[in-house]
Amino acid sequence: MIEPKKLLRNIARAPSNTENRLGKVMRLDHNERTTPLPQAVLDAVWKTISPEEVVAYPALENLYCKLAGSLNVPRECLLLTYGSDTGIRMVFDTYLNEGDEVVMLDPGYGMFPVYTDMFGGKRVFVKYDADFGLPVARIIEKINSQTKLVILANPNHTGTAMSEADICSVIQVAAAHNALVLVDEAYHYFYAGTMIDHLPAYDNLVIVRTMSKAFGIAPLRVGYLLSQPVNINNLIKVKLTYDVTTLSAKFAEYLIDHPEICQEHVRDVNEGKAYLAQEFALLGAHVFPSVTNFVFVRLPEACDAAALVRALEARAIWIKGPFKGVPVDGYIRITVGPRAQMAILMKNVKELIGKNT
Ligand X SMILES: Cc1ncc(COP(=O)(O)O)c(C=O)c1O
Pairwise CA distance, residues 275 & 57, whole Å: 46
Asked whether position 268 contacts ligand X by CB under 6 A, the answer is no
Please, which residues have CB within 8 angstroms of residue 320's CB and are 6 or more apart in sequence?
Answer: 29, 309, 332, 333, 334
Give the residue, chosen from 210, 245, 248, 290, that forms a contact with ligand X under the rule CB under 6 A: 210
Handedness of CA 26, 32, 35, 39 (dihedral sign): negative
Q: Which is nearer to ligand X, 182 or 276 (CB)?
A: 182
Report, in Å, the least distance between residue 69 CB and ligand X.
21
Q: Which is nearer to ligand X, 113 or 223 (CB)?
A: 223
Pairwise CA distance, residues 67 & 14, whole Å: 33
Give the residue, chosen from 186, 244, 285, 311, that forms a contact with ligand X under the rule CB under 6 A: 186
- Stretch of 40-48, 82-90, 133-141, 321-329 lying at the interface with ligand X (CB under 6 A): 82-90
Within 10 angstroms of residue 35's Cβ, the number of other Cβ atoms is 16
- Stretch of 38-46, 79-87, 117-125, 166-174 lying at the interface with ligand X (CB under 6 A): 79-87
Report, in Å, the least distance between residue 114 CB and ligand X.
12
Asked whether position 31 contacts ligand X by CB under 6 A, the answer is yes
| Angular region, 227: left φ>0, alpha ψ -120 to 50, beta rest | beta
Please, which residues have CB within 8 angstroms of residue 276's CB and are 6 or more apart in sequence?
Answer: 287, 295, 297, 334, 336, 342, 345, 346
Q: Which is nearer to ligand X, 18 or 178 (CB)?
A: 18
Q: Which is nearer to ligand X, 167 or 353 (CB)?
A: 167
Q: Which is nearer to ligand X, 208 or 346 (CB)?
A: 208
In order of 9, 14, 58, 222, 284, the CA distances from 42 in angstroms are 43, 32, 19, 16, 42
- Give the number of residues in contact with ligand X, rule: CB under 6 A: 12
Main-chain phi, psi angles of 329, to 5 degrees: -55, 120
| Kind plus residue range of the DSSP H or E element containing 124 | strand 122-127
Q: Which is nearer to ligand X, 210 or 246 (CB)?
A: 210
Give the residue, chosen from 90, 153, 332, 345, that forms a contact with ligand X under the rule CB under 6 A: 153
Q: Which is nearer to ligand X, 32 or 100 (CB)?
A: 32
Handedness of CA 86, 92, 98, 100 (dihedral sign): negative
Asked whether position 100 contacts ligand X by CB under 6 A, the answer is no
Asked whether position 223 contacts ligand X by CB under 6 A, the answer is yes
Asked whether position 218 contacts ligand X by CB under 6 A, the answer is yes
Cis omega (within 30 of 0) for bond into 74:
no
Please, which residues have CB within 8 angstroms of residue 139's CB and are 6 or more apart in sequence?
Answer: 103, 105, 126, 150, 152, 170
Taking alpha carbons only, the member of 225, 182, 224 closest to residue 205 is 182
Asked whether position 166 contacts ligand X by CB under 6 A, the answer is no
Asked whether position 327 contacts ligand X by CB under 6 A, the answer is no
Q: Which is nearer to ligand X, 243 or 253 (CB)?
A: 243
In the range 104-133, which residues lie near ligand X by CB under 6 A?
109
Asked whether position 293 contacts ligand X by CB under 6 A, the answer is no
**What is the four-CA torsion angle of 117, 125, 27, 271, rounded to 10 degrees?**
-150
Give the residue, chosen from 83, 121, 216, 337, that forms a contact with ligand X under the rule CB under 6 A: 83
List of residues contacting ligand X (CB under 6 A): 31, 83-85, 109, 153, 184, 186, 210, 212, 218, 223
